[in-house]
Structure 1
């Protein structure tokens, strides 16, 4: 049984998921993507594991969780800024970090994209949302999910009660077509001075938001919708 079979056995996918034109997606991103990621995206579609971990997907309904949106480039730019200024430790070359997921707490999940032309060798990293810690996993995405979701691999950045309701996947309504590729870095709420505006809006609208650190993705999405009206 391969990693994808183990994952779908552990966490059954939805009955249907939108197909993705991977050739066009990879051409637009100017990079090949790992086979296991494409298989996961095809099997599950956009959504979240355990109502916590969102993998970026070409059909994700918002720019915050879209693989072809601005977030991977924006996060890479911020990490380079952190590393150059010594404000936060970044143990990997930001140029080799490809953000491909986010948690509701604000941790980002990355491929360590080395070698760049060998995606089957890419491994996994995550950084702490409100602190300096990093976590690395020496395997691919499918292996990571198979190990982390049932708790066989301890991810110290994830909450202790993550698996309180078991392992499950919650789909979200997909965008009808993949979003246009947007690799230009954008200001990232929760990492810039604009975070105070987001926190003020969130509290005024009944959201529980931390005083410091990254703002949970659900709040960023809700705030983003008000900005786009």
Structure 2
């Protein structure tokens, strides 16, 4: 299983280190789903950041410009519009079997967590490419997907050209 220490080894030290669970609790009550532990752990460690100047992650407790709750609400609404819904394999949302939007990229991709359909199912990652428009489902956790991205593997987003000297992160302004 991917751990935060694996991500830190490639991305560098985190300085956000959030420990209050209340923003997550509020978000999870609102959407009726518990975010995966690895996603929470990574976002709590780094906060709202840009990775390789390409991938954007947001934390639920950060100021209004970069909070995860606003992002998820706006993205669900966007992906449920009639002309956008056809570009996903299932409905955007937080219910079982739906796609929960959690990140975006400057290169036009949207990153979703596929909500497990049942207790024996696992979280998976789906990346939708706006320029294609196609999507790819990855049978891995968010932490494993992020680690593959940081290692330069092809997980729809490509970091080699954006981070020739190795992965890096910066807080969102």
Q: Same fold (TM over 0.5)?
A: yes
For residues 57 and 119 of structure 1, what CA distance do their matches in structure 2 show? 27
- 1:34-73 alignment runs, 5 A limit: 34-63=36-65, 65-69=66-70, 71-73=71-73
For residues 119 and 161 of structure 1, what CA distance do their matches in structure 2 show? 38
Task: Tell whether the 8 Å contact from 1:82 to 1:90 is kept in structure 2 after alignment.
Answer: no
1:76 partner SS: helix
Task: Tell whether the 8 Å contact from 1:125 to 1:134 is kept in structure 2 after alignment.
Answer: yes
Are the structure 2 counterparts of residues 157 and 36 from structure 1 closer, same or farther at C-alpha, using a change threshold of 3 Å?
closer
CA RMSD of aligned residues (A): 2.7
Residue 134 (str. 1) matches residue 132 (str. 2): no
Could you tell me how far 1:18 is from its partner in structure 2?
3.6
Could you tell me how far 1:157 is from its partner in structure 2?
4.6
Q: Which has the higher strand share?
A: 2
Moved over 4 A (4+): 117-120
Map of 1:162 onto structure 2? 162
Could you tell me how far 1:37 is from its partner in structure 2?
1.0
Deviations 1:122-143 (A, max 9, x none): 1001111323121221111110
Deviations 1:21-56 (A, max 9, x none): 233332233221100011111211111111211113
2:14 partner SS: coil
Map of 1:8 onto structure 2? 8
Are the structure 2 counterparts of residues 170 and 139 from structure 1 closer, same or farther at C-alpha, using a change threshold of 3 Å?
same
For residues 168 and 121 of structure 2, what CA distance do their matches in structure 1 show? 26
For residues 18 and 3 of structure 2, what CA distance do their matches in structure 1 show? 21
Map of 1:222 onto structure 2? none
From the CA coordinates, give the structure whose radius of gyration is larger.
Answer: 1
Task: Tell whether the 8 Å contact from 2:8 to 2:14 is kept in structure 1 after alignment.
Answer: no
Task: Tell whether the 8 Å contact from 1:128 to 1:134 is kept in structure 2 after alignment.
Answer: yes
Map of 1:123 onto structure 2? 124
Are the structure 2 counterparts of residues 74 and 171 from structure 1 closer, same or farther at C-alpha, using a change threshold of 3 Å?
closer
- 1:98-113 alignment runs, 5 A limit: 98-113=100-115
For residues 15 and 92 of structure 2, what CA distance do their matches in structure 1 show? 37
When normalised by structure 1's length, the TM-score is: 0.62
Residue 148 (str. 1) matches residue 149 (str. 2): yes
Residue 24 (str. 1) matches residue 26 (str. 2): yes
Could you tell me how far 1:147 is from its partner in structure 2?
0.9
Residue segments in structure 1 that go unaligned for 5+ positions in a row: 174-229
When normalised by structure 2's length, the TM-score is: 0.79
Are the structure 2 counterparts of residues 33 and 120 from structure 1 closer, same or farther at C-alpha, using a change threshold of 3 Å?
farther
Task: Tell whether the 8 Å contact from 2:125 to 2:141 is kept in structure 1 after alignment.
Answer: yes
Residue segments in structure 2 that go unaligned for 5+ positions in a row: none
For residues 102 and 30 of structure 1, what CA distance do their matches in structure 2 show? 22
